[in-house]
Structure 1
Amino acid sequence: MKLHFILALLVSVAMTNSKSADARDLTLATWNLGWHLSQAEAKTWIKECGQPFALNQATGLFEPSMTGQAKPGWELRWGRNAKIKWDIAQKPPCDVFQSNFKIVPVTESAYQKRAQQISEFIRSNVDADIIAFQEVSGETAVREVLPNSGADYEVCSFDAFKVQRLAIAWKRSLGSSTDCVVEKPLSLPHLDPTDQVRPGLSVTLQIDGKPLRILTVHLKSSCVSPLEDRGKLDGSGDACPILQQQVRPLEAWLEARSAGAPAVLMGDFNRNVSHEENSIGPSKVRANGSDPASPLPAGVLVRSLSGEVNDGAPEDSALTHLDPQCPVNAVAKEICERSKREFFSQEALKPLTRADSLGCRNPIGLDQMFVSKSLTAIAPATKLAIGRFGGTRPANQDHPDPLLAISDHCPLKATVRF
């Protein structure tokens, strides 16, 4: 009996070690780079923002012109309702970089410097196996900011749709992908082209002979928190009805693609998922009170994007939300934790935007990461501080080129066991 017990114990240990040997720790990151262009695209953009614009009285728009009281694009009033002849779907507005709410004109040298700083930050601080990018113009723009010009990475991206595109980069050592798919349904193609939003982007990686599905998204903005009226998903207004329509295709992707393979869903959700999880119970996920695990009836609105999409049906589709922490300092940590249950105005979040804190203008509440239940989080997800690199400084007598913020978002990073 004793010998039998010892043999059984040895077999058990061997099996455990075998399973452990088969496991791999993967570092994941998601980062919105804020209207990021390739150097060639930036050169054209800088030139066009520097050209003179004059008001066309017939159209009521500021248009490129060499006559009249012209002023460069850097000096115009931009915004959602800007009266400027400019296709924001194809090129960023000229007010991307600001200091004290004043536009900072960009130079080619400054944009090159910014790319170098992003690359160094990724190498020194992010260093993830898999990185999802939002607001990038395409593969070239991403490779230019990856360490070693991206030589050690594979990149999945696209060049259609609007200029705020997506990309997924992963270290070549992980293996290859079996697909790279633009998830068009998330762009809401049934809408008028001017109203269509950003699609999703997915890849299936083959890591150690096992599939891992990844989807990155950049969902409709301005419908952030159910704790404020303008953020109620089933409310009226311009933004929430659009985000409401993205719920179905997002859930459809998860239910279809999580079958038989673990999934990672990460990106800029433009939605405070923690507020949903802490304020909207299962019976309140849908406006009609029906079970979110059942098929969503036509015409029924949802109140919680996460509650509807991550309903655990089918079982393989169940995800864990990696609620981020902000360990940069005690103040940041406290605000980060409280903000998961309380609504914080932009003014209240200002301590996080300081150079001695997270540093980015949009520090928390927008970027999210979900992983399949079969992927064990090794440590809490963290927001990485970009500190002084989150601020833009204009040119002056001593510095002819401005210093540009590397992003208005801070990266979100986590490690899981695959």
Structure 2
Amino acid sequence: MVIRQSVLIALVFLLGATPAAHARDIRIATWNLGWHLSQTEAKEWIRDCGQPFALNPASGLFEPATAGATKPGWELKWGRNAKIKWDIAVKPPCDVYQANFKIVPVTEAAYRKRAEQLQDFVRTNLDPDIITFQEVSGATAVREVLPNNGVDYEICSFDTFKVQRLAIAWKKNLGTGSDCSVIAPLSLPDLAAADQVRPGLSLTLQIDGKPLRVMTVHLKSSCVSPLEDRGKLDGGGEACAILQKQVHPLEDWLEASSASMPVVLMGDFNRNLSHEKNSIPKSAIRSDGSDPASPLPTGVLVRSLYGEVNDGAPASSALLHLEPECQVNPVAKQLCERSKRELFDQEALKPLTKGESLGCRNPVGLDQMLVSASLSVPDPAIKVAIGRFGGTRPAGPGHPDPLLAISDHCPSKATLRF
């Protein structure tokens, strides 16, 4: 009798342990690649930036020209208010790569070298099962920077909207993907076409018979932190007013998607969620103090994107915010921890941007990883240093091609136990 009871207890234990025994560690990552193009698109962009431009007195714009006082696109003054006949919704501006605040003209050989370095970096430092990209032109551009030209990956992307697009790549042996969908409401289609922003991109994966929904976003820029006046979501200016409009469609996606499966939400939020978490109490998430779990009253503004979207109602929509550690060295680790609660200007962030540290121009505060609270995350998320690969060096004697930064962002990575 004792033996039979022991056998039964052992069987119950084994059966109860079966789901855990089938748990699988999944490496996830997200990375903004900074106006990244395919090699074919880059060739055309390099050609167009190298063509001569001249000032047209009638339009007040620098336009492609073959006569008069001309200069190549590489030598023009770019920026948000550039007086140049050029549509950055279609192709990047010519000042993407700079050294000491001077534009570095790009060559085809340099762009190919950058793709090779990206392939090596992804393979050596990330090796992701799932990776989301921002600021990529499409699937071809992504495939060219994945190890072995992406032969082991499937890719979900699109070729509509503006050139700063999104992509999700996953290893073929992870599972099958479906419902690769552009989340158009995030682009704010009610705005004029020129003012519309980037949509989201969503995908459903079947992993070991279980569904997982992944979404990547690249939200409106220039409304980063509630710790500064221009970053106050309910009154920081035009950029914050646009980001304010993206809160509702983001929450709608989360609540609809998480009702039937866990979710992973990653990308460039252009918003410091840690600052929101640490400085805005629940009672102040909305301008009227109402509960963020309740419907948003007409005319009421949101002060915390994180608090409004991640209100835990319904319970299945609750998210974990994976705040990355910067493990490259003790100084970087300390600065990264402080930056989650303090507002740092560019000068204070300089130690993180150096080649011996993280190396990227935008090291912290913009890129975010959130996963369903039902998922297990055994280890801290990591901000991965790109070091010397974050800097651009111009061509010179003995090296006719420049060396291009692989990105102005550092990737983030984490492990899910799924």
TM-score tier, shorter chain, comes to: over 0.9
Gapped regions of structure 1 (runs ≥ 5): none
Alignment correspondent of 1:135: 135
Q: What residue in structure 2 maps to residue 364 of structure 1?
A: 364
Give the drift of 1:211: 0.5
2:34 aligns to what SS in structure 1? strand
**Aligned-partner Cα distance in 1 for 2:299–2:247:** 13
Query: Secondary structure, in 3 states, of the residue corresponding to 1:174?
Result: coil
In 1, are the aligned partners of 2:63 and 2:84 still within 8 Å (CA)? yes
Cα offset, 1:2, TM superposition: 5.0
Residue 233 of structure 1 aligns with an amino acid whose one-letter code is L
Give the Å deviation of 1:4.
Answer: 6.6
Do the aligned residues in 1 keep the contact of 2:229 with 2:236 (CA within 8 Å)? no
In the TM superposition, residue 21 of structure 1 has moved relative to its aligned partner by: 2.2
Q: Residues 198-245 of structure 1: CA distance to partner in whole angstroms, max 9, x if unpaired?
A: 000000001111110001000000000000000000014120000000
Using the TM superposition, give the Cα deviation of residue 16 of structure 1 relative to its aligned residue in structure 2, in angstroms: 4.0
- State the Cα distance separating 1:260 from its structure 2 match: 1.9
Distance 1:278 1:236, change over 3 A: closer
Q: Give the equivalent residue in structure 1 for 2:221.
A: 221
Q: Where does residue 414 of structure 2 map in the other structure?
A: 414
Question: AA paired with 2:328?
Answer: V
Listed as ranges, the matches of 1:55-204 within 5 Å are: 55-204=55-204
Q: What's the CA shift for 1:158? A: 0.2
Shift of 1:6: 2.8
Aligned equivalents of 1:201, 1:95: Cα separation in 2: 27
- Alpha-carbon distance in 2 for matches of 1:296, 1:259: 20
Listed one character per residue, the Cα deviations across residues 51-94 of structure 1 (whole Å, up to 9, x for unaligned) are 00000001000000111110000000000000000001000000
Amino acid aligned to 2:224: V
* 2:50 and 2:74 in contact (8 A); partners too: yes
Matching residue's letter, 2:350: K
CA contact (8 A) 2:223 2:236 kept: no
2:405 matched residue in structure 1? 405
Which residue type is aligned with residue 42 of structure 2? Answer: A
Match of 1:353 in 2: 353
Aligned to 2:394: 394
Indicate the RMSD between aligned Cα atoms, in angstroms: 1.0
Aligned to 1:322: 322
Amino acid at match of 1:95: D
* Distance in 2 of aligned mates of 1:344 and 1:148: 39
Matched residues, number: 418
Deviation at 1:20, TM superposition (A): 1.8
Displacement of 1:374 in angstroms is 1.3
CA distance in 2, matches of 1:294, 1:238: 26
Offset of residue 359 of structure 1: 0.4
Deviates more, 1:79-88 or 1:294-303: 294-303
Q: How many angstroms apart in 1 are the aligned matches of 2:16 and 2:328?
A: 36
Alpha-carbon deviation of 1:169? 0.1
- Indicate the SS of the match to 1:348: helix
Instruction: Show the counterpart of 1:275.
Output: 275
Give the Cα–Cα distance (whole angstroms) in 1 for the partners of residues 369 and 236 of structure 2: 27
SS of residue matched to 2:43: helix
1:241 aligns with 2:237: no
Q: Is the 8 A contact 2:359 2:388 kept in 1?
A: yes
If the length of structure 1 is used for normalisation, what is the TM-score?
A: 0.99
Percent pairwise identity:
72
Residue type of the alignment partner of 1:67: A
Corresponding residue number in structure 2 for 1:289: 289
**In structure 2, what is the Cα distance between the partners aligned to 1:236 and 1:18?**
52
Task: Find the aligned partners of 1:362 and 1:70 in 2 and give their Cα distance.
Answer: 34
> In the aligned structure 2, how far is the partner of 1:332 from the partner of 1:17?
40
Separation in 2, partners of 1:245, 1:4? 64
CA drift of 1:162 comes to 0.1
Report deviation, 1:393.
Answer: 0.1
Q: Deviations over 1:306-347 (max 9, x none)?
A: 000000000100000001110000000000000100001111
TM value normalised by structure 2: 0.99
Letter in 2 for 1:257: S
> Per the alignment, in what secondary structure is the counterpart of residue 334 of structure 1?
helix
Please give the alpha-carbon distance, in whole angstroms, between the structure 2 residues aligned to 1:100 and 1:157. 34
Matches within 5 A, 1:230-269: 230-269=230-269
Asked whether the 8 Å contact 2:134–2:267 carries over to 1, the reply is yes
Alignment partner, residue 26 of structure 2: 26
Unmatched segments (≥5 aa) in structure 2:
none
- Give the partner amino acid of 1:150: G
Deviates more, 1:130-139 or 1:227-236: 227-236
Aligned equivalents of 1:298, 1:400: Cα separation in 2: 59
CA drift of 1:15 comes to: 2.6
Deviates more, 1:229-238 or 1:273-282: 229-238
* Aligned match of 1:42: 42
Q: Deviations over 1:123-167 (max 9, x none)?
A: 000101000000000000000111111110000000000000000
CA distance in 2, matches of 1:8, 1:95: 70
Q: Counterparts of 2:49 and 2:140 in 1: how far apart (Å)? A: 22
- 1:333 corresponds to which letter in structure 2? K
Q: Equivalent residue of 1:181, what SS?
A: strand
Structure 2 CA distance for partners of 1:175 and 1:225, relative to 1, 3 Å: same
Name the stretch that deviates more: 209-218 or 294-303.
Answer: 294-303
How far apart in 1 are the matches of 2:326 and 2:281?
26
Per the alignment, residue 380 of structure 1 pairs with 380
Contact 2:31 2:133 in 1 (8 A): yes
